[in-house]
Amino acid sequence: MKRIFLLCSLLFIVIMAFCQKPQLALVQIAAGLDSPIDIRNCGDARIFIVEQHGRIKIMDKHGNINPTPFLDISSRVLAGGNEQGLLSLAFSPHYKQDSFFYVNYITGSGTGSTVISRFKVSATDSDQADASSERVLLTFPQPFTNHNGATLMFGRDGYLYDTQGDGGNAGDPFGNGQNKNVFLAKMLRFDVSDPDTTYTIPPSNPFVSQPNTKPEIWAYGLRNPWRCALDRLTADIWIADVGQDSMEEVNFQPALSTGGENYGWRCYEGTHLYDTTGCAGAGFTWPVYEYKHNAANGCSVTGGYVYRGTKFSRMFGRYFFTDFCSGRFWSARQTGPGSFSIDTFPSHLQYQYSTFGEDDDYELYIAGRGNGNIYHITDTSSCAPVAHILSVDSSHCDYAELTALAGDSLTYQWYYAFGGAITGANSATYRAGGSAWYQIKVSRPQGGCQSFSDSIYVHVQPCPGIHETDQDVIFTISPNPNHGLFTLNVQSNLVTTSTVSVVDQVGRVCVQQVLPLSQDRSHIPLDLSFLSKGVYSIILKNGGSMAQKRMILD
């Protein structure tokens, strides 16, 4: 799986740039699954489909399904009730090294018990789990057959999260939502990094050492959280919580959360009073979106993911969710601290959409539990793939590593933002050999779609004692810094008319001057005293060659 890193300023630009609404289309890629209920990947191209009755199947991106299940624990799984079964799967963030994955299922008879277990893949067949490798991390009884919650996922912090419903029936009859001495109605957080033990309590869990409180609790006040997701770019967490009789809700937990949120149930259903017995003094974290039960909206939210794929620029940065009863889709985007914008999409045929999932390129899929189909979520309105520079590693001398968001079936071309295409720079990563403004073009060959990223300035530290000999054109600018009267000394033997440009930090060209061939290039005066103080780039272009340096006006 491609690692992606947060670059706040770029993220903001991208959110602003890609706010046009997509036209969602569900493209069926597979059929014949038995109550598909979770979709995961382990960091390679395989897609793992969890079937509610206790099997995990492997599918490729074209929808071909391996005949032999990856795991079959149907004999251990109680799936009698509508909401019982094998409910969730999460692969270790270090799966390639440790081969561990985690599942959450209901076992036993009647109302059953929740089990959270760790398994290992077979040592000889990567398409086959070792069903005998199970180690139970935690198990506890369920008081009713419904509201078993259960999304397992790893946070950016490397801890395993699990969400639990309130235990079921209706109206949370035991008050589990606000009772911190039970696992039910909670988001739990475990440290599973030691393979020799089940789990330990992360010391930063918010209720460690408090009396009559489960130290595993990360957040509480949930009713039946049906699908939580980590935003792969920002590390924010989205929690969709199924309501009682009137309201469905979506909650947003920012990446900087230190836990302890009280999401309100059963004091509140969404933002509406439900049963305030024992709620005095509690502070609540309110949903960022709620919708009322009706024929158009539906009756049971299914939370999805933030799209971080590369194929559909209008989907980028949107958290998609749907409703199990209506098939209506929504997206939510954070537009500022604490502010969110919601878009509603036309309803798609209702197949009991039970879960979304991501592949290793962050493309989104959805499962119809009712018809056993898997769909790829696409946008028919956008021809532009996502061109997005994710990270710049400037820790080296003499070069910097640039990484763009990478996807399947795309081509890449890096550019000097004020120069031309860089020969041979055709992968999602690029090793920049000189300080310059860089940009990437991402193309989807089918249909001729392409888009350019924002241009970013990359400063490359020269190695001690080594000069910028890798530039096509060699020049110096002196004295630097300076109050405004610079001298340009071009050391190359230029063969055509050249252009010198001065560009500010946001990419605006402030000065452009043509240097005729006849001019003496060794001592070109450059009066920039009319410009504001600051950092500029000076760019010299000669035919297809160019060089760029940083210049400070003080």
Shortest Å distance, C-beta 15 to Ca ion: 26
Count of positions on this chain that bind Ca ion (CB under 5 A): 2
**Between 251 and 501, whose beta carbon lies closer to Ca ion?**
251
Q: Is the peptide bond before 481 cis (omega within 30 degrees of 0)?
A: yes
Q: Which residue has the tokens 């198990």?
A: 139
Shortest Å distance, C-beta 279 to Ca ion: 12
Asked whether the beta carbons of 349 and 420 are under 8 A apart, the reply is no
Shortest Å distance, C-beta 412 to Ca ion: 43
Alpha helices by DSSP H, listed for 22-104, are 95-98
Q: Which residue has the tokens 């595993």?
A: 216
**What's the order of all strands across the beta sheet hosting 429-432?**
389-393, 400-404, 429-432
Among positions 247-306, residues that touch Ca ion (CB under 5 A) are 263-264
Among positions 390-409, residues that touch Ca ion (CB under 5 A) are none
Asked whether the beta carbons of 507 and 417 are under 8 A apart, the reply is yes
**Between 99 and 178, whose beta carbon lies closer to Ca ion?**
178
DSSP tag of 285: P
Shortest Å distance, C-beta 290 to Ca ion: 8
DSSP tag of 157: T
Among positions 153-182, residues that touch Ca ion (CB under 5 A) are none
**Between 133 and 257, whose beta carbon lies closer to Ca ion?**
257
**Between 257 and 350, whose beta carbon lies closer to Ca ion?**
257
Exposed e or buried b for every residue in 238-276, given b needs 16+ CB within 10 A? Answer: bbbbbbbeebbbbbbbeeebebebbbbbbbbbbeeebbe
HEC per residue, 318-375: CEEEEECCCCCEEEEEEEECCEEEEEEECCCCCCCEEEEEECCCCCEEEEECCCCEEE
Asked whether the beta carbons of 226 and 149 are under 8 A apart, the reply is yes
**Between 265 and 312, whose beta carbon lies closer to Ca ion?**
265
Residue nearest to Ca ion (CB): 264
Shortest Å distance, C-beta 267 to Ca ion: 9
**Between 263 and 329, whose beta carbon lies closer to Ca ion?**
263
Shortest Å distance, C-beta 352 to Ca ion: 23
Asked whether the beta carbons of 248 and 376 are under 8 A apart, the reply is no
Shortest Å distance, C-beta 280 to Ca ion: 18
**Between 13 and 288, whose beta carbon lies closer to Ca ion?**
288
Distance of CA 425 to the CA centre of its chain: 26
**Between 259 and 507, whose beta carbon lies closer to Ca ion?**
259
Shortest Å distance, C-beta 549 to Ca ion: 55
Which residues of this protein are in contact with Ca ion, per CB under 5 A?
Answer: 263-264
